[in-house]
Structure 1
Amino acid sequence: MAYLTAVVTLFGLLSIANLILTLGVVRRLRAQRDGSPPAAKGDPFQGSGLSVGQRVGGFSAHDTEGRPLTRDSLREGMLVAFLSPGCLPCEELLPSVVESARAAGPGRVLAAVVLNEDDGARPDAFVAALSPVATVVVTRLDGELARAFDIQGMPTGVRMGREGRIADSGRALLRVPHPTRAGA
C-alpha cells in the first residue's frame, strides 16, 4: 500500500509541475504575440506593415506604360498586389492575380512587380502576364511604392479603402476562389 501511495503522490507532483510549465509557456507565447509587429498579427502571411485603417504613405511611380501613379491614383476597392519574380509563392499566385484582375476590370488592380537584386530574376514574365489586365509597376523593395505600403514580405495583397486607407490586407486577397462545378 505504501508503494501505491508513493506512485500516486509522484504522479500528482509531476502533473502539478507539468501544469506550471505549460502555464509559463502560454504566458511567454502571449507576451511574444502582444509585442509582435502588426504584420505578424492576424494573417500569418500578411506582408504589409500597415494595419487596416492606416493611410498609405505618399509615393510617386510610373507604370510600364509611362503613366504617373501617386497615392491619389489608388481608388476605393482597388487591389494592390505585390509580387516578386523568383519568389515561389508569388509565381504560384500569379495566375490567380491575373484572373482577379481580369474579373475586376480595367484600372481595378495595381500589380507591383518587386525586383530582388540578390537573385537577379527578371520581371518580364510577370509584366507580360499582368499588363493586359492590370496596371503594372516595376519597383524595388526599397522603392517609394513598397515603402509607402510598408511591405515586409511577398506575396502581399492590399485592398484600398477610402481616402488612401487600407481596407484589408493579406495573401488571401490574391487567391481567386474556384467556383464549384454543378453536380460535383
Structure 2
Amino acid sequence: MPFVIAALVLVGTLCVLNLLLSVGVIKRLREHTELLSKPGHGKVMPSLGVGEEVGEFLTSTVDGGTLSRESLADDTVVGFFSPNCGPCREQLPRFVEYSGALPGGRGRVVAVVLSHDADEANALVADLAPVASVVVETSSGPLSKAFKIKAYPTVLRVAARGGRLVVTDEAVDLGQTATAVA
C-alpha cells in the first residue's frame, strides 16, 4: 500500500507541474501575440511612414531640372520604380494615368527610376516623363536615402506641415481618381 500512495503522489505532483508549465507557456504565447499584433512589428516598412519627415536631398531630373526637399510642392506624389521589378511594371500604367489626372500636372509628381543601367531605365523614363519630373538613380541615391526606400514600387504623398516636408500617405491608391484626392 505505501508503494501505491507514493506512486499516486508522484503522478499528482507531475500533473501539477505540467499544469503550471502549460499556464506559463500560454501566458508567454499571449505576450508574443500581443507584441506581433502591434503596427509595424515584424514587417519591414518599405519607406518612411505617415508623419515622418523627408530627409534632405539635392538631385537632378532627366530634363536638367533640380529637385530638393524645399522644391517639392504641397501634396506632391512621389513614386519609386525599378525596371527589373514585375510589380513595378504592373503599377506603372496606373501611376501614369493617376499622375496625368492630378491637378497641377508634372509639378506635383516626381518619379524615381532606380537602375544601374541607363538603357534599362530609358523605357520607364519615356513612359514617366510626360506626367512627372523623372529622376534616375541607384538604390543608394539621394531620393532613395531621403525617403528610406526599401521596396519597389513605392508611391507616397508628401506635404509641408509645420515647416517640414512629411509623408501624408504611404500607400497612395492609384485606382482612385486623382481629382477626388485633390
Give the TM-score category using the shorter length: 0.7 to 0.9
Residue matched to 2:176: 177
TM-aligned CA deviation for residue 58 of structure 1: 0.5
- 1:1-184 superposed matches below 5 A: 24-34=28-38, 36=40, 40=43, 47-48=46-47, 50-104=48-102, 105-115=105-115, 117=116, 122-162=120-160, 163-170=164-171, 173=172, 175-177=174-176
Deviation per CA, 1:21-68, whole angstroms, max 9, x where unpaired? Answer: 77654532332454956x93xxx8x521x2222211001110010111
Secondary structure at the aligned position of 2:75 is classed as: coil
1:124–1:141 Cα change, 3 Å: same
Aligned amino acid, residue 76 of structure 1? D
8 Å Cα contact 1:61/1:144 also seen in 2:
yes
Mapped partners of 2:139, 2:92: distance in 1: 18
Mapped partners of 1:159, 1:136: distance in 2: 16
8 Å Cα contact 2:52/2:166 also seen in 1:
yes
What TM-score comes out, normalization by structure 2 length? 0.72
Secondary structure at the aligned position of 1:146 is classed as: helix
Mapped partners of 1:23, 1:81: distance in 2: 44
- Divergent runs of 4+, >4 A: 19-26, 33-37
Residue matched to 2:180: none
Secondary structure at the aligned position of 2:53 is classed as: coil
Which shows bigger deviation, 156-165 or 82-91? 156-165
Aligned amino acid, residue 153 of structure 2? P
Residue matched to 1:10: none
Deviation per CA, 1:99-138, whole angstroms, max 9, x where unpaired? Answer: 01110123111000111x4x99711111000001111000
Q: Which runs of 5+ in 2 are unaligned?
A: 1-21, 178-182
Q: Which runs of 5+ in 1 are unaligned?
A: 1-16, 179-184
8 Å Cα contact 1:75/1:164 also seen in 2:
no
8 Å Cα contact 1:81/1:174 also seen in 2:
no
What TM-score comes out, normalization by structure 1 length? 0.71
Mapped partners of 2:57, 2:63: distance in 1: 18
The structure with the larger Rg is: 2
Mapped partners of 2:175, 2:38: distance in 1: 32
Deviation per CA, 1:117-167, whole angstroms, max 9, x where unpaired? Answer: 4x9971111100000111100011111110000111111111012131111
Mapped partners of 1:120, 1:33: distance in 2: 42
